[in-house]
Amino acid sequence: MDPKGEISEIRERALSEIASAQDEEEIESLRIAYLGREGRLTMILRSIGGLPENRRAEVGKEANAAKKAIEDALKDAQEALAQQPRKPSLDVTAPGVPVNLGTRHPLRLVLDEVLDIFVAMGYSIAEGPEVEEEWYNFTGLNIPEDHPARDMQDSYYVGQDLVLRSQTSPIQLRYMQTHAPRLPVRIVGPGRTYRRDTEDPSHSPVFHQCEALLVDKGVHMGNLRGTLTEFARRLFGDAVNVRFRPSYFPFTEPSAEVDVTCTNCWERGCSTCGGQGFMEILGAGMVHPRVLENGGYSPDDVSGFAFGMGIERLAMIKFGISDLRSLYRNDLRFLRQFGGRLR
């Protein structure tokens, strides 16, 4: 490049950088960058001796003018900075900045309540992987490979024999296997679950469940009924009843669908409960002997009950939410309504 062109480019650059410098330190480092011993303009000044004689004077003049302009700009910038009143680092008289603490999600609120109820009854909390082995999610729970129950919980396969768990029931098996033959087994297992369902007001491909498992000597269906009645009353209030309807799950025998009094109509029948007076809240039953065996316990010596509930469903009932999808839309105006404020 022509030395004159280069000089004017350096000059413009320097002036604009100096104009936007914020503090002494920045001004000093610009001085070094342009006028220091290795500075860009210094290098040009030093190379003038090597130019053809007829150009030296002209380029030298240009370079010196640029040097002067940059020096002046540095001086001006320094003075301007010195005039500015120094900002105090802390103004103790300024009003405080409000801290936005957010809100606990309605699903979290309900799950915490559920867990609290069971922990108060002596249950421990157990967890399991969301990416689960097919054996724990299906086969070990007495759902053989060609069983229609697999279709009902059509899952996402993520590899050979690996699924995103379609239920929290695999937690039962994992816990029994690592604790057998100790008694009692008394756990609740919350977690995220996945099914190949299309989104609608009551379905989501990702949802949450909470499992419960109790294994001990002589556990019977009456214990299951008593436990569920107590649980329902602590969650929905003393006035609710539970109702068992015969059902089928491969991992429990006998199995039941469990309903609780509709808290909208108190068993008179309304549109919320489809005229039933009751709302289904969970699936339950006596642990199938084969599942006890797979967990390392002898069905001749011990028995147990298990149940599993959908957390979205409980939240919808408890808070009167009509569309499950609103739980996932992250609209704060909606999410803040449920008393989960953190203070």
The contact set with ligand PHE (CB under 6 A) reads 167, 169, 211, 249, 252, 283-285, 306-308
290 within 8 A of 297, measured Cβ to Cβ: no
Beta strands 185-194 and 124-125, pairing class: parallel
- CA-to-CA distance for 205 and 156, rounded, in angstroms? 10
Letter for the amino acid at 226?
A: G
Beta strands 157-159 and 162-164, pairing class: antiparallel
Please identify the residue of the shown chain whose CB is closest to the bound ligand PHE. Answer: 308
Beta strands 124-125 and 303-310, pairing class: unpaired
- For residue 100, the minimal CB distance to ligand PHE (Å) is 37
- For residue 102, the minimal CB distance to ligand PHE (Å) is 31
Q: Which is nearer to ligand PHE, 73 or 284 (CB)?
A: 284
Q: Which is nearer to ligand PHE, 17 or 259 (CB)?
A: 259
Q: Which is nearer to ligand PHE, 307 or 338 (CB)?
A: 307
Q: Tokens 């689960």 — which residue?
A: 132
- For residue 331, the minimal CB distance to ligand PHE (Å) is 28
Q: Which is nearer to ligand PHE, 21 or 141 (CB)?
A: 141
- CA-to-CA distance for 248 and 288, rounded, in angstroms? 11
Q: Which is nearer to ligand PHE, 249 or 338 (CB)?
A: 249
Q: Tokens 């290098």 — which residue?
A: 43
- CA-to-CA distance for 233 and 231, rounded, in angstroms? 6
- For residue 150, the minimal CB distance to ligand PHE (Å) is 12
- CA-to-CA distance for 59 and 233, rounded, in angstroms? 94
- For residue 285, the minimal CB distance to ligand PHE (Å) is 5
Letter for the amino acid at 26?
A: E
140 within 8 A of 287, measured Cβ to Cβ: no
- For residue 307, the minimal CB distance to ligand PHE (Å) is 5
Q: Which is nearer to ligand PHE, 157 or 248 (CB)?
A: 248
